[in-house]
């Protein structure tokens, strides 16, 4: 029996983890003959299967007004309470519209009951599911207690009520073991662990006519060694370690490339990195102006590439993050058969490292042995090829679509009672 599944979040657009993983879920569910539909404040999905409600986006003015008055303070004005309830009531009505319009039978809340970027949406979802008793899956990517900015707040009552909601018609899914334990301890809620995945059954795409000259387009020489850090420029990404790595390699052909922008948390960190790179003699290039979610052309006629256009032309990936909820960039590097350096952030050490990958590993700092290992991977093609093929095989076993198919089949069977 096929189900009509409604995905709900503040947005399904771009390359954030929620948007990417939800698309993978929808693809695997389609293999089971289940049809997916989309509800959010910003959507890049098929318009015929989408229900866009601008007020559901976390950057909507009303949501921003509320957020400015509930985080970093312990006091909540009665006006704030009223506007939370009014917006939640409106969004709940739009959820009813969405489920009626597409005859939804199962709802999948993608991080909307997890991190309170949009508090009224979480409240609306919780009330909607309590009133309708519709079967639901709450897919949790990062909880509010994992973010310092939510630790001081004036809405503990709402956080307890909706983040996540606790109801017998909701099945909870987490992406790492630590989240599974914390959810059980804090909320008394059991959950199924479903890690992030890639389709390792299908080889990575080869460069095409659009992207084959990307090195020249971005100003690199043919013999430059591109060391990519595929992250945003925020402090928890540890980009200073990548700068010191390139400095230690001592090869002027090594170029450190940062793919994404700064700005989410200010530009002070970017300025510090620029000064550090200059002092270290490292050629660091931030190329976010030429990397986008989709291919397109600027007004000046310059090509905008996707990160997947760039990967086949990269020599090494640096990923010295201090914290990640899982680490999609790690799987991307393995998928494109690239060697990668990892800082052993806690989720990697617990959930990924035991699987048996062969990777240069930092424990918070660079060592001479680690730098020698990176140099060996860059300079010895046979050793590099053997390493990346081993890592691909491990990822294919533990983090590919067959695992996701098995876990989703379990979830749907639990909800419907049908295999």
Indicate whether 139 and 34 sit together in one domain. yes
**Considering the domain boundaries, does residue 291 fall inside one?**
yes
Confidence of residue 261 (pLDDT cuts 50, 70, 90): confident
**CATH classification at residue 325:** 3.40.50.2000
Predicted local confidence at residue 112, as pLDDT: 97
Predicted local confidence at residue 357, as pLDDT: 97
Predicted local confidence at residue 415, as pLDDT: 85
Give the integer Cα–Cα distance in Å for 310 and 216: 12
Indicate whether 229 and 280 sit together in one domain. yes
**Considering the domain boundaries, does residue 187 fall inside one?**
yes
Identify the helix (H) or strand (E) that includes residue 406. helix 401-416
Indicate whether 264 and 236 sit together in one domain. yes
Position 263 pLDDT exceeds 90: no
**Considering the domain boundaries, does residue 345 fall inside one?**
yes
Q: 343 by DSSP, 3-state: which?
A: strand
Indicate whether 305 and 179 sit together in one domain. no
Indicate whether 131 and 24 sit together in one domain. yes
Rounded to 10 degrees, what is the CA torsion of 160, 164, 169, 170?
-170
**Considering the domain boundaries, does residue 247 fall inside one?**
yes
Instruction: Tell me the residue range of the domain where 313 lies.
Output: 214-398
Predicted local confidence at residue 51, as pLDDT: 98
Task: Give the predicted TM-score (pTM) of the model.
Answer: 0.89
**Considering the domain boundaries, does residue 205 fall inside one?**
no
Confidence of residue 265 (pLDDT cuts 50, 70, 90): low
Position 305 pLDDT exceeds 60: yes
Position 204 pLDDT exceeds 80: yes
Quick one: what percent of the chain has pLDDT higher than 70?
99
Q: What is the average pLDDT score of the chain?
A: 94
Confidence of residue 280 (pLDDT cuts 50, 70, 90): very high
Closest CA to 230 of 115, 113, 310: 310
Indicate whether 305 and 362 sit together in one domain. yes
**Considering the domain boundaries, does residue 246 fall inside one?**
yes
**Considering the domain boundaries, does residue 36 fall inside one?**
yes
Indicate whether 163 and 265 sit together in one domain. no
Predicted local confidence at residue 301, as pLDDT: 87
- For 7-57, what is each residue's pLDDT tens digit? 999 999 987 889 989 999 999 999 888 999 999 999 999 999 999 999 999
Indicate whether 155 and 58 sit together in one domain. yes
Confidence of residue 4 (pLDDT cuts 50, 70, 90): very high
Predicted local confidence at residue 325, as pLDDT: 82
**Considering the domain boundaries, does residue 159 fall inside one?**
yes
Indicate whether 366 and 407 sit together in one domain. no
State how many domains the chain has: 2
Position 93 pLDDT exceeds 90: yes
Sign of CA dihedral 229, 231, 233, 236: negative
DSSP result, 266-290 = BSHHHHHHHHHHHHHT-EEEE-GGG
Residues 179-204: what's their mean pLDDT? 94
Predicted local confidence at residue 47, as pLDDT: 95
Indicate whether 134 and 36 sit together in one domain. yes
Predicted local confidence at residue 416, as pLDDT: 80
Indicate whether 260 and 391 sit together in one domain. yes
Indicate whether 157 and 270 sit together in one domain. no
Position 343 pLDDT exceeds 60: yes
């Amino acid at each position: 029996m096929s189900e009509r599944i409604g995905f709900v979040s503040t947005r399904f657009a771009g390359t954030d983890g929620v948007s990417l993983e939800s698309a993978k879920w929808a693809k695997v569910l389609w293999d089971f003959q289940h049809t997916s539909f989309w509800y959010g404040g910003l959507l890049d999905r098929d318009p015929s299967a989408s229900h866009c409600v601008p007020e559901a986006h976390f950057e909507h003015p009303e949501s921003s007004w509320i957020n400015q008055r509930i985080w970093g303070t312990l006091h909540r004005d009665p006006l704030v309470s009223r506007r939370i309830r009014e917006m939640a009531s409106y969004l709940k009505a739009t959820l009813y519209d969405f489920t009626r319009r597409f005859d939804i039978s199962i709802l999948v809340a993608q991080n909307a009951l997890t991190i309170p970027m949009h508090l009224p949406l979480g409240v609306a979802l919780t009330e909607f599911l309590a009133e309708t008793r519709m079967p639901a899956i709450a897919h949790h990517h990062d909880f509010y207690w994992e973010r310092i900015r939510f630790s001081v707040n004036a809405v503990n009552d709402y956080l307890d009520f909706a983040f996540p909601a606790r109801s017998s018609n909701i099945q909870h899914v987490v992406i790492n073991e630590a989240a599974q334990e914390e959810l059980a301890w804090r909320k008394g809620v059991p959950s199924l662990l479903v890690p992030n995945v890639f389709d390792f059954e299908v080889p990575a795409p080869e460069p095409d006519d659009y992207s084959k000259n990307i090195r020249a387009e971005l100003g690199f020489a043919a013999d430059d060694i591109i060391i990519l850090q595929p992250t945003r420029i925020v402090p928890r990404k540890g980009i200073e370690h990548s700068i010191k790595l390139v400095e230690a390699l001592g090869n002027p052909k090594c170029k450190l490339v940062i793919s994404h922008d700064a700005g989410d948390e200010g530009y002070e960190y970017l300025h510090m990195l620029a000064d550090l790179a200059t002092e270290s003699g490292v050629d660091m290039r931030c190329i976010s102006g030429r990397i986008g979610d989709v291919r397109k052309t600027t007004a000046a006629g310059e090509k905008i590439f996707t990160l997947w256009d760039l990967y086949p032309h990269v020599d090494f990936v640096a990923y010295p993050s201090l914290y990640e909820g899982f680490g999609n960039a790690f799987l991307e590097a393995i998928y494109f058969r690239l060697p990668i350096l990892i800082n052993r952030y806690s989720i990697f050490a617990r959930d990924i490292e035991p699987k048996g990958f062969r990777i240069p590993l930092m424990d918070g700092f660079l060592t001479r042995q680690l730098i020698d290992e990176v140099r060996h991977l860059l300079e010895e093609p046979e050793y590099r090829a053997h390493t990346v093929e081993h890592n691909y095989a491990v990822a294919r076993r533990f983090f590919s679509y067959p695992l996701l198919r098995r876990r989703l089949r379990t979830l749907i069977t639990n909800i419907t009672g049908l295999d």
